[in-house]
Structure formats: C-alpha cells, structure tokens
Amino acid sequence: MPDYSDMTYEVADNVATLTLNRPDRMNAITGPMLDSFSRALRDADHDPAVRVIIITGAGRGFCAGLDLKDQMAGTGIGSQNGNDLAVQKFDLANSPPVVLHTTDKPVICALNGPAAGYGMDLALGCDIRVASKQAKLAAVFTKRGVLPESGGSWLLPRLIGWAKAAEIAFRGQILGADEALAVGLVNQVVEHDELMPAANAMAAEIARNAPLAVQATKRMMRVGLEETFEANVHHVFLQLLPLFRTKDFAEGVRAFMEKREPTFTGR
C-alpha cells in the first residue's frame, strides 16, 4: 500500500475509505497532503476492487481548510519560503479538486465535523454528502481575503442556484448540518455516532449495482453539465453500446427474469 502523508486508506467490501488524518490541526491541508489526496483518489479510481469511495476526517473536524498556521509562519502553500505550489509548479490537472471532479467512481463525503474553506470545497466536490449533526459548512473565504478557489465557486451555484450560492459566499456564512440539509448542500443528517454506518450503508447499496454502469452514469451526468441535451443523448448512446456487451448486463437481465438479486462482477 502506498505511503500517504497525514491520510489513511482502507479498502473493505468494495469501498475505499480515505481519512484525512491530522486531527490535532482539524485536518488542515498541507502541501504533502494535497499530493497524497490526489494519489489516493487516483489509486481508488483505478482499483477494480473499489466500487465506491468514502472521504471523511479523523477527530472532531472534517477539514479546516489550508493550514493557516503554516501560512502565518511563511511555510505554507503559496508562501515565498514554503512549498510554493502556486508559483513554482502548481499542477492543476493533478490537484485534488480536479482529480475529485474527474474520478469516475461515486464519492461519498462523510462529514464528521466542520468543513471550512478548502475543506468545504472538497466536501462539495463529492457526489453525495452524509453529515453528522456536528458538521458545519463554513464558506469563510471572503472573511479571509480569498475566494472559493478549489471548485466551490463553480460547484455552489450548480448545487443550490445562483441567488442562494451568492448569499452564502458573499456573506461568508457558516451553515450547520440542518441548515445545509435545508438548502440542499447535504443529502442526509444523522447522529454523530451513526455517521460512518450511514455512509457505509449507502456505499454498500451503490456497490451492489453494476459498477461499470454506475461509473458511466456518473461520467454522463458530469459531462452533461457542459453540453446540450442533444449532445448528451448522443454521448449516452455511445456509452450504452459497450455496456450491452458486458457480463454484468447479461447478469442484470437474467436476474430480473429469474426474480432474484443480481451478482455483478464489474466485467
């Protein structure tokens, strides 16, 4: 198993769980963590044993954003003395928000606590969000003199509409779990000790479906955000043709005719 910086990676029952693991710093992001996060996502996306990905945080926070303590010390991301990814060589194609957006496998965010700034953008980049009652989404960018730099300015209006997104982003609002549910930013809110069981139950339900079909569905939903209806129908048809030739399609039809649950192999 690759060595990831301040992150754990576990696979069980076709589900990869990526846990941000700097609990003493509320899982604030460092340069090495950015690289680890991208590599872990790529590893999960390319692993045929993985059908669903869960992202969560260790301790009482999901992710406090970029490590401001390092920033103040002049050693953080974008600093002159630190790992200056923004100036020296910032590989946007392999940055976590882009990798997360292009990952074909479904990604569930298990929001165990506050997600602020960069952490909020990471949460919004996931396909589904299950939140603990202790979770918060903190759009505090404008209160720190920056903007939602890691996908949030693109994602937020698409998730909840322009007017509500503008209100949250411009005011720098902090939303509790129930508020986030009310505006459509999370799918489900559960008691804190039920968070991982709920996320794993949803992941298991998805993992029981034909993985190639699930991944094709996600791809077509993603590209559909940027193309016309007619173009998307055309691309969906092209995705459908190879699925017709899979063993999973034959198994799905056979299971339906035999009135039983299908067993998919991803082939």
For position 157, what pLDDT does the model report? 96
Give the pLDDT of residue 86: 45
2 token code pair: 């690759």
Q: Give the pLDDT of the chain (267 residues) as one tens digit per residue.
A: 578 889 999 999 999 999 999 999 999 999 899 999 999 999 999 999 999 999 999 999 999 988 866 554 555 555 445 455 444 555 778 888 899 999 999 999 999 999 999 999 999 999 999 999 999 999 999 888 888 888 889 999 999 999 999 999 999 999 999 999 999 999 999 999 999 999 999 999 999 999 999 999 999 999 999 999 999 999 999 999 999 999 999 999 999 999 999 999 999
Residue with tokens 């990952």: 103
Structural domain boundaries of the chain?
Answer: 7-207, 211-257
Same fold, 7-207 and 211-257: no
Question: If you search the block for the tokens 């404008």, which residue do you land on?
Answer: 142
Radius of gyration of the chain measured on its C-alpha atoms: 19
Question: Which secondary structure element, helix H or strand E, spans residue 15, and what is its range?
Answer: strand 15-20
Check if CATH label 1.10.630.10 holds for domain 7-207: no
pLDDT value of position 70: 59
Give pLDDT, residue 80: 47
Whole-number Cα distances in Å, 113 to 45, 94, 108: 25, 26, 15
Q: Are strands 174-176 and 7-12 parallel, antiparallel or unpaired?
A: unpaired
């926070």: which residue's tokens? 61
Q: What's the pLDDT score for residue 197?
A: 98
Query: CA–CA separation, 155 vs 134, rounded Å?
Result: 23
- CATH class label, 211-257: mainly alpha
Beta bridge partners of 8: 19
Residue 177 main-chain phi, psi, to 5 deg: -60, -45
